[in-house]
Structure 1
Amino acid sequence: MLRRFAKLTISLGLGLVDRLQPRRAGRGVVLYYHAVPGRHRHRFARQMDQLRKRVQPWALDQEPPRAAHWVGISFDDAYVSVLENAVPALLERGLPFTVFVPTGSLGDRPRWIRSPAHPLWNEQVMSKADLRKLVRLPGVTIGSHTVNHPRLTRLTPGELESELRGSKAALEDLVERSVELLSFPHGDWNEAVVEAARAAGYKRLFGIQPACLDGGPLPPVVGRVAVEPDEFLLELLLKLRGCYRWLARGSEFQTKGQGE
């Protein structure tokens, strides 16, 4: 909790600095969630109320909007709790969102989580039937989260290709539409992984380092800001404004002028 408040304090200071510096372009961020437990269903809905009131929503498969502040919403791991507790709030508010799916765990618990002590141990990944229903809903984009959720930089070239192409092919067969977005498991990537993803047919790639987007061309790997459904309102508002970008510490995917 102490570390959480320290991050909040630094981000609040950055937000105050931002207010003193006029910007010529809009600013965008991409949020990413994992699970949305039932006990946090209403808090998540309140977060979406704040988001809809304060920023322009962005569908991640589209070009960024021309707005002062815009935000994309994404979910990694395709948990059933998201389908049950987040999707109704998103649909009710007309907010577009993307779900990144690990195809090797469909209808099963997340196989990459190996400790019963992990807070997401009891989560379940959506089934094929769940995804077929989900993709028919308005504002939904399905993306890949590989097959087995590995650290991609540790794989052989053949294993890497299998993870990237296998997940894409399985999802396209399942949802009957092109799958062109990819979220890197664990945020683990390098130049070789990016090249392999492009060769496999992915057109937009996402990591997990917080970043701001300035309305220009998107970076090769789009950074995202982690959000929990039970966060303080101030935390959420600062994240919507890109004030947690300092955590990236100048990561290589940030384009010139972003996240400084």
Structure 2
Amino acid sequence: MLPGDCRRARFQAMSGVTVHQTLSKLLRRGRLLAGYNRPLVLMYHRVGEPLVDPWELSVSPQNFARQIEILTKARDIVPLQWLAQRLRDGKPPRNAAAVTFDDGYADVVQNAVPIMLRMNAPVTVFVTTHALTDPSVFWWDILSRITLETPALPERLAIQIAGRNYDWLVTEDATRAKSNLAISRTALHFGLHALLKPLRVHERKRALQQLARWAGTDASPRTRDRAMTHSELRHLADTDGVSIGAHTCTHPSLPLLKRDNLEREISASRQQCEEITGRRVAGFAYPFGDFDDSTAKAVRSAGMDYAVTTLPREAGPRVDPFRLPRVTVADWGEIEFRRTVLCHG
């Protein structure tokens, strides 16, 4: 290619990018002026950099700060409770967004909230109350540490879970793992997660202990994966711009529970949050995003004003306040965040 041709090609490429960016801005502006930017609720879990993150629950502090900065310029960040009330009244605000965190990890207090405060952005944190004193409640972190962080796993895993025997050949060879004879670490992790999720707490702990012995490690939780403490939660609730919501006591899949246990998980978590913070708790988040009609009814009966799901879309004008959708955010840079999140509306 001749020098002149290179310059023309470079100019055309740059022009194409500029035109695309200009059209995107015009489309967003036109959508806003036309009132098409419906309310959006974002879902986060952690702000930190764990060693492994199979569910993509963590966002680095740097990416999180940039994401919130972008969001403040593109949307009006509002308190979730205010937004839920507007939706209940049938008056969805234009261009609004709310930011939420599930579970109640300590790194939200340490890393996320200072960024939100610096940018004058409100946030709602949904807390799993038993995790405040029992770190093993976040069992998925223990599982991922055992299966994905252990340097060398034994080749064969024979284990009984919920009365059923399982036998796997564990391999680091991705090609071999595609056969029926072996399973990769990643596939093993997700398979075990699906088996452990519906178990009762004591059954899950026993299974994790078996897995730890097999892997040559332990089943204790690590400090880096801890939930916030009672005092941290009280301090958080006293912070301007921060609201606390309930997220059950032990983080079960609620549709799997019998009625009494279902109501206890919902009501007790709300009561415990209120006792710790001294403030009314108005909102609820469904663990794992799992809910059904009975679950939503139980949340309403517990006296809550709204509940959030993991349905990935914006909030329409006729949205059920106990089925509010949320868009999950991962550890994305600016381009991916704009493409994946700001496209909603």
Give the partner amino acid of 2:38: R
1:133-175: CA deviation from partner (whole Å, max 9, x where unpaired) = 1011111010001000000000000000110011011011111
1:103-156: CA deviation from partner (whole Å, max 9, x where unpaired) = 011044352324124799741111100001101111101000100000000000
Structure 2: gaps of 5 or more residues: 1-19, 51-59, 150-220
Which of 219, 237, 255 is the equivalent residue of 1:153? 255
Q: How far 1:19 sits from its partner (Å)?
A: 3.6
Larger radius of gyration: 2
- When normalised by structure 2's length, the TM-score is 0.60
* Larger displacement relative to structure 2 (63-72 or 189-198): 63-72
Structure 1: gaps of 5 or more residues: 1-11, 244-258
What is the aligned partner in structure 2 of residue 41 from structure 1? 61
SS at match of 2:40: strand
Q: As a proportion of its length, which structure holds more helix?
A: 2
Q: Distance in 1 between matches of 2:135 and 2:308?
A: 23
Would the alpha carbon gap of residues 110 and 234 (structure 1) be closer, same or farther in structure 2, given more than 3 Å must change?
Answer: farther
Q: Distance in 1 between matches of 2:92 and 2:271?
A: 33
Does structure 2 conserve the Cα–Cα contact (< 8 Å) formed by 1:27 and 1:241?
A: no
What is the aligned partner in structure 1 of residue 110 from structure 2? 84
Give the partner amino acid of 1:42: Q
Q: Distance in 1 between matches of 2:40 and 2:49?
A: 26
Give the partner amino acid of 2:291: W
Would the alpha carbon gap of residues 239 and 27 (structure 1) be closer, same or farther in structure 2, given more than 3 Å must change?
Answer: farther
Does structure 2 conserve the Cα–Cα contact (< 8 Å) formed by 1:101 and 1:146?
A: yes
What is the aligned partner in structure 2 of residue 232 from structure 1? 333
* Larger displacement relative to structure 2 (156-165 or 218-227): 218-227
Q: Distance in 2 between matches of 1:223 and 1:107?
A: 30
Give the partner amino acid of 2:75: V
Would the alpha carbon gap of residues 223 and 66 (structure 1) be closer, same or farther in structure 2, given more than 3 Å must change?
Answer: closer
What is the aligned partner in structure 1 of residue 230 from structure 2? 128
Does structure 2 conserve the Cα–Cα contact (< 8 Å) formed by 1:73 and 1:98?
A: yes
What is the aligned partner in structure 1 of residue 342 from structure 2? 241
Instruction: Tell me the number of residue pairs that the alignment of Structure 1 and Structure 2 aligns.
Output: 228
Give the partner amino acid of 1:193: T
* Larger displacement relative to structure 2 (93-102 or 49-58): 49-58
Q: Distance in 2 between matches of 1:195 and 1:66?
A: 23
| 1:75 and 2:106 are equivalent in the alignment | no
Q: Distance in 1 between matches of 2:95 and 2:335?
A: 16
Give the partner amino acid of 1:132: R
SS at match of 1:222: coil
Give the partner amino acid of 1:236: F
| 1:102 and 2:128 are equivalent in the alignment | yes
Q: How far 1:44 sits from its partner (Å)?
A: 1.3
Q: Distance in 1 between matches of 2:73 and 2:333?
A: 17
SS at match of 2:63: helix
What is the aligned partner in structure 1 of residue 40 from structure 2? 29
What is the aligned partner in structure 2 of residue 170 from structure 1? 272
RMSD, aligned α-carbons: 2.7
What is the aligned partner in structure 1 of residue 288 from structure 2? 186
Q: Distance in 2 between matches of 1:180 and 1:242?
A: 29
Q: Distance in 1 between matches of 2:93 and 2:274?
A: 32
Would the alpha carbon gap of residues 159 and 67 (structure 1) be closer, same or farther in structure 2, given more than 3 Å must change?
Answer: closer
Which of 308, 324, 329 is the equivalent residue of 1:206? 308
What is the aligned partner in structure 1 of residue 79 from structure 2? 59
